[in-house]
Amino acid sequence: AQSVTQLGSHVSVSEGALVLLRCNYSSSVPPYLFWYVQYPNQGLQLLLKYTSAATLVKGINGFEAEFKKSETSFHLTKPSAHMSDAAEYFCAVTNAGGTSYGKLTFGQGTILTVHP
Amino acid sequence: NAGVTQTPKFRILKIGQSMTLQCTQDMNHNYMYWYRQDPGMGLKLIYYSVGAGITDKGEVPNGYNVSRSTTEDFPLRLELAAPSQTSVYFCASRDRFYREYFGPGTRLTVL
C-alpha cells in the first residue's frame, strides 16, 4: 500500500521568496516519487522525479526536491518564487515492482499563490 | 508529436445518459490511465491499461468501463450518468522511465 500527504492545501509567498511545498509518503517498498504541476485549465506536467538514484533531484523551472528516507519526505523547493510559478502542485508515489504497474497515488494538491 | 489528446473538452449530460470520453496518444506507450479530479481531492485512478487488450480497475471504477483495442486509443465509457460523476477527467500515458504524460482534460457536468 502507498499513500501521499501534502501538508498545506494553500501556500502563499512573495515574489522572490523561498518556495517550500511539503510532501510525506508511505510505501511498503522503496518508492518512486514525483512532483507534478497543474496550471489553470490544463493537464498535469512532470516537474521532477526520484527513482532511487541521487537523493537531491533537480527539475524544470528551477525546482528541486530532496528524498529523505528517514523522514519519509520529498519536499519541493525553489529558492526564488516567480509569478509564473502560481499553480497547483501534486506529489505522487509509485513503486516499480509487483503488480503496481507503476500506478501513481497522488496527494490532494497544494495551491501556490505568488504575490508581487 | 501531439502527445495525449482528449475529446471532448466540455460536456453536459443529463442523469441517465451515456457517453464515451476519447483518449489517444501517439508516443507508442503501453501504459495508459484514466483519472478523475475533484477539488481538494487530488487525482483518483479509475482504470488503467498495460497494453492493447489488457485493462484493470483502479481506485474508483464504479460507473465506468474501458476498452483498449489498440496501443493508441483508450476510451472511457460512462453508462447511466449520475451527478456524482461530475468531475474533470484526465487521460495519461506512461513511458518506460515512469514519466506520465497527461491530456488536457474533459470537464463533465451531469445535471
Phi and psi angles of residue A42, each rounded to the nearest 5 degrees, phi first = -130, 170
Closest of B27, B35, B37 to residue B5, by C-alpha? B27
Where residue A19 falls among pLDDT bands split at 50, 70, 90? very high
The set of residues, in sequence order, having a beta carbon less than 8 Å from that of B74 and lying 6+ positions away, is B23, B24, B25, B32, B34, B49, B66, B67, B68, B91
Are B41 and A108 within 8 A, CB to CB? yes
Q: What pLDDT score was predicted for residue A27?
A: 85
Question: For residue range B15-63, what is the model confidence (pLDDT) as tens digits?
Answer: 999 999 999 999 999 999 999 999 888 899 999 999 999 999 999 999 9
Residue of B nearest to A10 (CA): B40
Taken as a whole, chain A contains a residue count of 116
Exposure string of A71-100, with b = 16+ CB inside 10 Å and e = fewer, is eebbbbebeebeeebbbbbbbbbbbeeeeb
Q: What pLDDT score was predicted for residue B31?
A: 94
Where residue B12 falls among pLDDT bands split at 50, 70, 90? very high
Which residues pair with residue B90 across a beta bridge? B35
- Interface size A-B, in CB pairs within 8 Å, comes to 57
Question: For residue range B68-99, what is the model confidence (pLDDT) as tens digits?
Answer: 999 999 999 998 999 999 999 999 999 988 89
Residue of A nearest to B48 (CA): A103
Chain A residues near residue B56 by CB distance under 8 angstroms: 101
Query: Is pLDDT above 70 for A97?
Result: no
Question: For residue range A46-94, what is the model confidence (pLDDT) as tens digits?
Answer: 999 998 778 899 999 999 999 999 999 999 999 999 999 999 999 999 8
Q: What pLDDT score was predicted for residue A100?
A: 62
Cell triple for B52: 492493447
Where residue A41 falls among pLDDT bands split at 50, 70, 90? confident
Query: Is pLDDT above 80 for A98?
Result: no
Q: What pLDDT score was predicted for residue B41?
A: 85
Q: What pLDDT score was predicted for residue B92?
A: 96
Chain B residues near residue A106 by CB distance under 8 angstroms: 42-44
Phi and psi angles of residue A62, each rounded to the nearest 5 degrees, phi first = 80, 5
Q: What pLDDT score was predicted for residue B70?
A: 97
Q: What pLDDT score was predicted for residue B40?
A: 83
Query: Is pLDDT above 80 for A96?
Result: no
Q: What pLDDT score was predicted for residue A99?
A: 58
Which residues pair with residue A11 across a beta bridge? A112
